[in-house]
A = this chain, B = another copy of it.
Amino acid sequence: MKKTSILNKLRSSGLRPTKQRLEIAKFLFNRDKTFHFTVESLGKHLAKKTTTKFALATIYNTVHAFKKAGHLSEVYLRGKNNTTYFDTNISNHHHFYDSETSELIDINENEIKFNKIPKAPNGKTIKNLEVIINLKN
């Protein structure tokens, strides 16, 4: 993804392209494979890869802004550590979770097919459906 592309991505979501957001966006979106991270791990990576300074609050703000803008998805999963995972893959998909390594692996939506799904309770609708396959060795 090119710089202009990232700029547009930010602008189109109403996010001003600040130095920090550009660095974070470059880091998150300039990659081929999807990327799973926690705010903490993202902070560490950024500290290593860039010379820009990032307050932790900025990373939280930016990640949440990206999530709100639909550029990141949150993985509803609670691992060993008590942190929230984010995912640069925003298409509908599922996950393997390896609790040994705290590692998430994407599963394409079409890798899982359902034969039977219950209908939502009274007055509710299904927003989405998330499968987590826990792994062991």
Contact = CB atoms under 8 A, between A and B. Distances in A.
Interface residues of A, number: 35
Q: Is chain A's interface secondary structure helix, strand, loop, or mixed overall?
A: strand
A98 interface: yes
How many chain copies does the complex carry?
2
A118 to B, nearest CB: 4
Contact of A78 (B78, B116, B128): B78
Interface of A: 74, 76-78, 82, 84, 96, 98, 105, 107, 111-118, 120-121, 123-137
Given A126-B133, A129-B133, A130-B133, 20 more contacts: A74-B78, A76-B76, A76-B132, A77-B77, A77-B78, A78-B84, A96-B118, A96-B124, A98-B124, A105-B121, A107-B118, A111-B118, A112-B116, A114-B114, A114-B115, A124-B135, A125-B135, A127-B134, A127-B135, A130-B131
